Amino acid sequence: MTLNNNTVESIMTTNVATVSPNQTVQEAAQLMSQKNIGALPVVENGQVKGMITDRDITLRTTAQGKNASIPVSQVMSTNVVTGTPNMSVQEAANVMAQHQIRRLPIVENNQLRGIVALGDIATNHAYDEAAEQALTNISEPSQPQA
């Protein structure tokens, strides 16, 4: 199988650190610290059930005085936007910009295959314009929900 250099598959990280919904927030935070990352897909039986970020932990656990031993499922975001391995890098950048996200889990046949971060797009000079456009849109404050 040859990789098309314009697809997400050519730039995605395939060895993705993940946590399960029933692991503790502390375990998630420790894994983030070990891997020097700010977000983890929450995966059960290979399927993405959510995402947990260092910000989720800060705002939904620490700021609310909750114990770090609560399950990740109580803190994670569940409305996860995903991409596919064969989508173009430009499409991925557009999806990330539209949803104001910096990381896009890549799913095939309902199974996590990898993840693309805005940095993956930005470090590939062929996609400088896509990364710049995505970052501009991600960095714009979203309108408050009514």
| pLDDT tens track for 75-129 | 999 999 999 999 999 899 999 999 999 999 999 999 999 999 988 887 765 555 6
Q: What is the largest CA-CA distance in the chain?
A: 50
Secondary element (H or E) of residue 29: helix 25-35
- The helix (run of H) or strand (run of E) holding residue 3 is none
* pLDDT at position 136 over 90: no
Range of lowest pLDDT (4-8, 19-23, 89-93, 105-109): 4-8
